[in-house]
Amino acid sequence: GQNIDQPTEMTATEGAIVQINCTYQTSGFNGLFWYQQHAGEAPTFLSYNVLDGLEEKGRFSSFLSRSKGYSYLLLKELQMKDSASYLCAVEGYGGSQGNLIFGKGTKLSVKP
């Protein structure tokens, strides 16, 4: 079966660092994505990992270990506007390119 797990909720303090974990079991692997979704809005693309290692993009970094079926999203210097849901998604094999399997998302609350 296909399964993507991530924590339901997390809370962190403004200015701090938070790590959101994601584990996956899918039939094949073509890449792992992180999206940010503010309440009532569409998801926006944050990062893409297809090889093992860390990808850094400003305050956000994403890590992937394919052998462990594991990824994390690291958010540094948290700001209040980072309060949102963070979605982990995997592109598996089969079907068309871009068919993503999404986790249920992690709701992050940033407090002052």
- Site track 49-88 with another protein (rule: CB under 8 A), x = hit: -x------------------------------------x-
**Residue 25 is a binding residue for another protein (CB under 8 A):** no
Member of 31, 60, 70, 76 binding another protein (CB under 8 A): 31
Member of 60, 74, 76, 101 binding another protein (CB under 8 A): 101
The backbone region for 81, taken as left when phi is positive above 0, alpha when psi lies in -120 to 50, beta otherwise, is alpha
| CB-facing half-sphere around the CA of 99: CA atoms within 13 A | 11
Of 40-48, 56-64, 65-73, 75-83: span binding another protein (CB under 8 A): 40-48
78 versus 91: smaller Cβ distance to another protein: 91
